Structure 1
């Protein structure tokens, strides 16, 4: 047994070799021989790429049997923790240290404990892997850098000690980690008196382990004063694993810790910390706000601690609002536990609910609601054990460029792999290459299908698809946003317009003319299930059977028939209705799979995993709206000119129908006598936008409420007064000449005001806001008027 422990363990696979050294000497020798081989302890960093993208490493080293990488040592200046220790072990070690050390010495330990990852990640990920992976999602790097932690590095011929700051930001490059070096352990020093350390992170959702933004900050004040002796600020998150705001710390030295310092620090941080230029309009502002808010929170925390230790003159504190806020919210910066919301409803008049004849007017639950809200779904692996004999599997090769010419497609390496049957391109499509099933001469967006690999297993197909090499020639410009589309005049024709009354004359007689714009970002629709298509060719009967999950089997049948150049009645579409594929997305995948099945004469299954579906197959379009509204002094609107722009992607598809709904809903429930509205589908180098909640009405209604609110602010009246004044009344008519009775609209408005106690609750909210630094309560009433059904026939169906 001792001999086995002293010997290295080697596992040889088809593509990779797994080596487990038994001592540090063997590990350093292996790292010298294979400098690019990753060291794996928890596999939380290299595991996902291997499973999701099919990438692999020829040699993988597992150092779990090397004792030097799992040490824990308490020293006079701090704690040394081995790089192979799991984050769960780190949590246990630091928790014990916090309970035994005085508060002045354990500040950095408490900050690390607050920012450690979720429970599952803590059990799997190692400390060293969390630091050296280079991933922007690891929040430890900024904290360890601000805590001045040192790293013990070792190679076959040398050992050295560097700080994380030197490792990441050394301009000379001498301190950078070499390929043959490994991280042995990390020294976490004790905090000193006069040090103030904090870290903050913003998550996309509670319970998520991937933060959007991270900040770690430390300031050292001169003893007995509020003068800054040293200040370090580090940011991390979406852009990089760690970013050092060096200039901010240098310029704030010897400054007093007050509001003037905070104002200067905010300006310097915005100048030095880069914000993603590619971010959407709303996200860029959100990034800036987050960056400043972290610094503001740190300022409040330090100010609160200073008041305990330093006596200031009564007139010293200039930031009264911040001081009051900090005193009112003593626990505002403690880690909070967010549980799920719970509620119940008690009906005191339900004694006769069990009798069918007395159910009217009682709170009786509809029996089908339970079946509709409790859903059971089965998720099958891509390697379906119930696959029929001879079934083949398909994997797509997609574009990695927004806009480029295809110079060549290198398929030789992929065809040499075991299990590969064929590679399908546009030349193999017997019918029409409608909607660009395969890109032929150029790609128009990232994720566009270029070819498809057919193999005997899904893993072989995925592996071969990753071996196909496509040579591109970049083209300019790549139009990605609505603003780019407007700049380059990249639109789909026709531009739809609707006009009633004399808009220009009405603007001349208006007391006020207001102009503005609003941007509504796009959304990704997330489902857990993969998208699956099964195509069964029946060549002896001149038929093709398509088994698919879709809401629009007619489009599936038409797309497959067009791709195969056969009559539609030769395509049998067996559809299962669920929250699955949406319209043309399903049609594209089904047509590609049908071409592969038709050419091979065998059953072909196509499984698009979630990693492919997110960037390629489903998203909601972004909207951009401009308005010009003319009103009188009392709030009555007499003229309206609005324009909507929709990011349609590389082809219009459903965007024209969505924009038509926006066009017809431009006024929402308001009667404007003089109206002009235009809607434009923007041509961009993005996937087609086929899915839209509300089908365009929600976006138009939101913009309508924005110009209603602008009119209310200009005229000095309440928004609900402007809303009520401009509602349709009695026998009214829409701009598209539809007559209707608006009696129910006004009755609904009055009833909502009464039953919601709108005026009383609005008054109470305003009273609360007067006593708060920031507005915390709001109450609004918003009318909505839209027709039943949708312009898209496949959506108008009973659920």
Structure 2
């Protein structure tokens, strides 16, 4: 995620690159700028740093440096960018906290597109002055003018050689015929890091002039094979602007594909030749190049007597998965992209799970050349990626279509032929078989209509145009510049200026985060003699371990030891329910760990540990668990009223089920622990990225066999948490603690993203089965519902998640008769755990499913049926809690009004406060900071409570030796309980100061504190701020209060591809009296966008054996900048104080996440409209998430019918729904 800026002279260019991929060896003669190099908190922030901080665009801060550097690079190249430039620059940047809106709003000021924002004052921003940017280093400028010499760097296992001439390159390839040619390292770097590939010799041709040259010829434009994709894009844009349109058809298609090819930091370094030679079957460009005509690829070989040969990129070019006809010793010199001819038409298409920076599911290039002045096909090429192990041409189809007229008969025959030729095995790698097959036909239909329209226009109506009802299918889902607006509460008139409660105070760490100065766990400087730990985990879903052999690891340089269960001095049983072991022999869990002197050595050693298994049959899915009755023992029920009688009185009864997939937390900072043994009495200090210091302390002490008072857990900040660091960090922390105990040396471990996703679990997948009785007017009378959650292989927090799902099964609807049961399935997957919402989104989503379907069954508008069933003030919920201060109907009315809906539709906590003699305050509380602004809010609470400026108050960290026995920072109650604890502690100090203030009423805060110290008054204080519910009796009070919110969303879907775009979302949220509106709105937007991922995009795909396919950002996609609503309006409900929390506030971290279900059900409504065109009017099943695959498959049409599904049970699927 971290970006650097690479600057070169002659000519001067600046571009971003991914620091984690770009080799240091390739940086010779270039200037590298990091976020620390453009500004800092000690002297001056760069405007790119200042604006993201002051516009509240930094929450956890882990992504902030990368976003800052993307903006900085754009400003160096274009000091007055357009908003389109800004949004394009952020492709490839991800943020899991903010929802992107505040980042775009802050940086919008550079584009001179102003919006009135009450969250920040743009007049306070320092102006951008390009003349003040750092100059290119003169010594590098001097070196670049000198003759370059060949470079050679040698490591332990890899040699990097960078030649300067083609002659040198040819000689090197002769010496090392199997050497990899690397320009940007975007493919080889991934293979070496994540796929355990080793390339002993790497040759970098970036300095070879012939391989960077661009030539304009009579037949096209020739690019050197080392030309970066960004340079190809730049050249083609200029060429297209100068050429007649008919001549630039291929160039336009290449540009369209490049627009969505990765992000700029990849396009800036990845080479055109590298993309071809990688031979990926889902390449964005290879189908376009293959279809474009005759692509000549000149090759040079040191072994050939002729020296050079030219090959054609045709159906023979790709010989197998990631293989071509190019010989190992041959070098690709250049690629010629041809001009198109008169009468030639070209289109390219790509479908992915996410529009920005995502690999293709299916991609294609389509070209047709007509006989002069006619609509008769002279030549046609249809090339597809994602339909075979290689890029393929539909040769049979093309042969049949040649010589035919471009009309509906040709369309029908083409689709029939393609359906047969582009067939896939139902077990094909990658899955989504029906979707992929349908896309081949959908793309051709779009191509057919596009060409038909152009023919009609070019031949003045002699060729029939597309029908009116088909033209809308040519419109891509629109991707427009985003726009947003927030409506805040206003602080009361007369509130003191220094009283910051209710004001949009900037996140206290935002500036440090924007400058790269914020310290995260792995940023702690290395200790002398420190070791690095790498986990060894099971590769089998269910198996007995027969043997573990770490002998080969001992030969790896720097190896120290292997740690296993026998090294645990205390208890090897851990977990929330004491049903897990530190080192275990079950699914995806830790078997052991390797310690070495460096991270690289530790990882190498771990990879060669050999494990022998006796495989057992796993239980992976909810359906399998139901069939085999594999359940965790606690089954919860909530019953109310007489369900049987309710069904008897109902006019209609609807039965159905809905599945909701799980979700990966994808906190940007993965799990990390540093354990430092203190050398006496078993003392150990643990620096951990955790939401739960107390449990971390308890579990580590338990594993080490020492009392908890010997373990100190310290948390400075986290790079995101979302519930994923509430309990699951302990499986890593205990392993690291045991390793540190065994060796007596400090031990560190930060998981790679794929490791983290493999072992840490996520949101529980759910299956809901329901039976609902209702009247003709849509009034619900009775509900019977069963929830099944996939808990994984241990209890963890699954019972609590299921409890919450049952408590939210009504969402906001008054259901007089309810019978519900919640069952947690035990499966052979890593244990699922807490995630923002904690079961609530699953429970509410299933409620909205049956509510949506019964409205359709009644033939009534869904919004009318929803409003009819909403609770009223004073109603009792299905768990018998009375609703007081019920503001939901206010939120409903305001949201429908602001969105113009009808117009368009026609726990425990603690705090410790130290006051020092200079009047400054050190505040410590039991909550942890993970980006949610908790520290900022606590400072605001302390400021008001003590009546002093926020600048006098400082929070250093959360640690178990200052505030013991804390609750985890979770469940959206941290501000409530810690805020009250801070308030109580401050009140204690004020009470002690009362006599001193009375004796000196005109004194200052500093005077009173000094007098208190002289009079031996304690200036430290602690503070501790009746909930409970009985499922058996259905009585009690599970919630202190309720949070309310309403969202209205508008979407567009592409019925042919399954794409969707969020056009507009309006949110009205009741947060009580906001402690900090900027932070609260940031939480609302961040939760909403995280929910967008849950309900529309993020999909965990497992093999039938329980192996997770979707590991890492390459396979698992969270929402990006372009996925947020184009228009995003958030309002805080006014005049609704909450008397049950600190300063009348309400929890805001989790409740807004479910509001993104409005997008899911807007998509479902759009699909319903599309299905009506096929004569389908009954309610239909749409599981979550609503991915392009599910959307397209639900839009039943002639193309889906031409690609029928294989009969379940007749094949082994590539992936299963867990």
Match of 1:697 in 2: 840
SS of the residue aligned with 2:246?
A: coil
Alignment CA distance shift 1:265-1:484 (3 Å): farther
Rounded Cα–Cα distance in structure 1 between residues aligned with 2:674 and 2:158? 32
Take 1:405 and 1:457, find their aligned partners in 2: how far apart are those partners?
31
Whole-angstrom distance in 2 between the partners of 1:759 and 1:187? 54
**Hey, what does 1:390 align to over in structure 2?**
529
CA distance in 2, matches of 1:428, 1:227: 77
Paired residue for 2:313, among 150, 164, 170? 164
Q: How far, CA to CA, are the matches of 1:290 and 1:174 in structure 2? A: 25
Using the alignment, how far apart are the partners of 2:505 and 2:417 within structure 1?
55
Q: Distance in 2 between matches of 1:592 and 1:549?
A: 15
- Aligned-partner SS, 2:483: coil
Paired residue for 2:548, among 409, 412, 418? 409
Shift of residue 588 of structure 1?
1.0
2:219 aligned with 1:219:
no
Give the 5 Å matches for 1:424-443.
424-434=563-573, 436-437=580-581, 440=584, 442-443=585-586
Q: Residues 475-624 of structure 1 correspond to what in structure 2 (within 5 A)?
A: 475-477=616-618, 479-486=619-626, 489-576=629-716, 578=718, 579-580=720-721, 582-617=725-760, 619-624=762-767
Using a 3 Å threshold, how does the CA distance of structure 1 residues 615 and 236 change in structure 2: closer, same or farther?
farther
CA apart distance, 1:720: 3.8
1:91 aligned partner: 233
SS at match of 2:696: helix
SS at 1:693's partner residue? coil
Q: 2:467 aligns with which of 319, 323, 338?
A: 319
After superposition, the Cα gap between the structure-2 partners of 1:35 and 1:677, relative to the gap in structure 1 and judged at 3 Å, is farther
- Could you tell me which residue of structure 1 aligns to residue 503 of structure 2? 367
Matches within 5 A, 1:58-73: 58-64=200-206, 66=208, 68-73=210-215
Distance, in Å, in 2 between the alignment partners of 1:575 and 1:777 is 40
Deviations 1:196-232 (A, max 9, x none): 1111334665653655553322223344343444433
Q: Map of 1:650-669 to 2, 5 A cutoff?
A: 650-669=793-812
Q: What's the TM-score, normalizing by structure 1? A: 0.82
- Verify: 1:34 aligned to 2:176, yes or no: yes
CA distance in 1, matches of 2:520, 2:717: 20
Residues 12/721 of structure 1: CA separation in 2 closer, same or farther (3 Å cut): closer
Q: Aligned in 2, Cα 1:13/1:735: closer, same or farther, shift over 3 Å?
A: closer
Q: Does 1:726 align with 2:869?
A: yes
Change (3 A) 1:399 1:640: same
Among 114, 127, 133, the alignment partner of 2:272 is 127
> In the TM superposition, what are the counterparts of 1:114-193 in structure 2 within 5 Å?
114-116=256-258, 117=261, 118-135=263-280, 138-148=283-293, 149-155=295-301, 156-157=303-304, 159-169=308-318, 176-193=325-342
Write the distance in 1 (CA, Å) between the matches of 2:532 and 2:438.
Answer: 48
Q: Indicate the larger mover: 505-514 or 247-256.
A: 247-256
Q: State the Cα distance separating 1:595 from its structure 2 match.
A: 0.5
CA distance in 2, matches of 1:603, 1:173: 43
Contact 1:535 1:593 in 2 (8 A): yes
Contact 2:381-2:394 within 8 A present in 1 as well: yes
Q: CA–CA distance in 1 between the matches of 2:437 and 2:498?
A: 55
* 2: CA distance, partners of 1:8 / 1:753: 69
Decide whether aligned partners of structure 1 residues 657 and 495 sit closer, same or farther in structure 2, where only a CA change above 3 A counts.
Answer: same
| Secondary structure of the structure 1 residue equivalent to 2:838 | helix
1:662: how far off?
0.9
Q: Judge conservation of contact 1:145–1:163 (CA < 8 Å) in 2.
A: no
Q: State how far apart, in whole Å, the 2-side matches of 1:37 and 1:381 are.
A: 38
C-alpha offsets along residues 224-257 of structure 1, whole Å, 9 cap, x if unaligned?
A: 3434444333333698673444455455555554
Q: Which moved more, 1:635-644 or 1:293-302?
A: 293-302
C-alpha separation between the residues in 2 aligned to 1:665 and 1:86?
Answer: 52
Structure 2 stretches lacking a partner, 5+ long = 1-142, 907-1049, 1072-1137, 1142-1148, 1151-1218
Change (3 A) 1:126 1:17: same
Q: Secondary structure at the match of 2:533?
A: strand
Residue deviations 1:616-641 (CA, integer Å, cap 9, x gap)? 33532222222221223232322212
Question: Within 5 Å, which residues of 2 pair with 1:10-25?
Answer: 10-21=152-163, 24=166
Do 2:225 and 2:271's aligned partners in 1 also have CA atoms closer than 8 Å? yes
> Residue 226 of structure 1 contacts residue 257 of structure 1 at CA under 8 Å; is this kept in 2?
yes
Take 1:669 and 1:267, find their aligned partners in 2: how far apart are those partners?
49
**Aligned mates of 1:388, 1:83 — CA distance in 2:** 45
Partner of 2:1197: none
1:379/1:178 Cα in 2 relative to 1: closer, same or farther (>3 Å)? farther
Aligned to 2:385: 236
The residue number in structure 2 matching 1:453 is: 594
* 1:268-287 mapped onto 2 (5 Å cutoff): 272=422, 274=424
Q: 1:577 to 1:14 in 2, by over 3 A?
A: closer
Residue range with higher mean Cα deviation, 67-76 or 395-404: 67-76
Helix, strand or coil: the match of 1:540? Answer: coil
* 1:168–1:380 CA distance, 2 compared to 1 (3 A): farther
Residue 675, structure 1, aligned to residue 784, structure 2: no
Give the number of the structure with larger relative contact order, counting CA–CA contacts within 8 Å between residues 6 or more apart: 2
How far residue 424 of structure 1 moved from its aligned partner, in angstroms, is 0.6
Which whole-Å CA distance do the structure 1 matches of 2:820 and 2:1070 have between them?
Answer: 18
In the TM superposition, residue 126 of structure 1 has moved relative to its aligned partner by 1.6
**Shift of residue 144, structure 1, vs aligned partner:** 0.8
- Contact 1:83-1:128 within 8 A present in 2 as well: yes
Alpha-carbon spacing, 1:359–1:526, altered in 2? closer, same or farther (3 Å):
same
Deviation at residue 68 of structure 1 after TM alignment:
4.7
Contact 1:655 1:689 in 2 (8 A): yes
- In structure 2, the partner of 1:792 is none
Q: Which SS does the other structure have where 2:350 is aligned? A: strand
User: Residues 286 and 359 (structure 1 numbering): CA distance in 2 closer, same or farther, change over 3 Å?
Assistant: farther
8 Å CA contact 1:196, 1:218 repeated in 2: yes
**CA deviation map 1:146-178 (0-9, x unaligned):** 113232234312644333333455599997233
How far, CA to CA, are the matches of 2:208 and 2:687 in structure 1? 53
* Structure 2 CA distance for aligned equivalents of residues 26 and 344 of structure 1: 61
Size of the aligned set, in residue pairs, is 765
Distance in 2 (alpha carbons) for counterparts of 1:6 and 1:777:
53
CA contact (8 A) 2:387 2:424 kept: no
- Superposition pairs for residues 288-327 of structure 1, below 5 Å? 294-312=443-461, 316=464, 319-323=467-471
Q: Which moved more, 1:193-202 or 1:154-163?
A: 154-163
Contact 2:895–2:1068 under 8 Å retained in 1: no
SS of 1:562's equivalent in the other structure is helix
Structure 1 unmatched runs, 5+: 790-794
